[in-house]
């Protein structure tokens, strides 16, 4: 029993000193106006020490429209997602390896191929970590667009 207690205290001490990831969901919210859409990307750590996270997108618009979609997981430093306004009030959430398009008229989130993304998108901001490592949304006014390198 004492050995188990010592092991637990040692593990907790290492986590405090080394900075462990918590498995508590951390949402970041963006209000995209127009079209009046609330976009939330929630990040959950899947490993206590490595930068590995599951990501989930939720989009809400007027009325009863609220949909969710799992995003490509972050398996090492690829959590950032850029957000864009498109035509017909569509909102795009684009990551290094995936594109999701939210259409409030049909209340659907679609997984898309990069080559199918419409041209002329307007950058609205990005979900990313701040200098302290906290998951947050940066509107375009606070941080300029950081495009992803081509694959």
- Assess whether pLDDT exceeds 70 at residue 56: yes
- Assess whether pLDDT exceeds 60 at residue 17: no
Q: What is the pLDDT of residues 98-139, one digit of tens each?
A: 999 999 999 999 999 999 999 999 999 999 999 999 999 999
Burial 73-97 (b: 16+ CB within 10 A, else e): bbeeebbbbbbbbbeebbbbbbbee
Q: Which residue has the tokens 């750590």?
A: 45
Question: Which secondary-structure segment (H or E) carries 7?
Answer: helix 2-18
What residue segments make up the domains of the chain, in order of their start?
Answer: 21-139
Separation CA 47–CA 143 (nearest Å): 29
- Assess whether pLDDT exceeds 90 at residue 149: no
- pLDDT value of position 94: 97
- Assess whether pLDDT exceeds 80 at residue 143: yes
Separation CA 58–CA 60 (nearest Å): 7
Q: Tell me which of 5-9, 16-20, 84-88, 89-93 is least confident.
A: 5-9
Identify the three-state secondary structure at position 106.
coil
CB atoms near residue 47 (< 10 Å): 13
Give Cα separations from 75 to 46, 119, 150 (angstroms): 9, 29, 18
How much of the chain, in percent, has pLDDT values that exceed 90? 72
Contact between residue 69 and residue 107 where contact means Cβ atoms under 8 Å apart: no
pTM: 0.84
Residue 28's DSSP bridge partners are 41
């Amino acid at each position: 029993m004492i050995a188990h207690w010592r092991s637990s205290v040692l593990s907790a001490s290492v986590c405090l000193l080394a900075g462990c990831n918590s498995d508590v969901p951390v949402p970041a919210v963006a209000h995209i106006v127009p079209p009046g859409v609330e976009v939330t990307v929630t990040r959950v750590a899947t490993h206590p020490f490595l930068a590995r996270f599951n990501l989930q997108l939720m989009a809400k618009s007027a009325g009863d429209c609220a949909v969710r979609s799992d995003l490509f997981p972050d398996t090492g430093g690829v959590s950032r997602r850029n957000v864009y306004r498109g035509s017909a009030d569509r909102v795009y959430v684009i990551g290094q390896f995936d594109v999701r398009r939210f259409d409030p008229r049909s209340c659907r989130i679609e997984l898309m191929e990069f080559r199918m993304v419409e041209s002329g998108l307007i950058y609205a901001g990005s979900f990313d970590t701040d200098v302290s490592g906290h998951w947050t949304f940066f509107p375009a006014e606070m941080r300029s667009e950081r495009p992803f390198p081509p694959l």
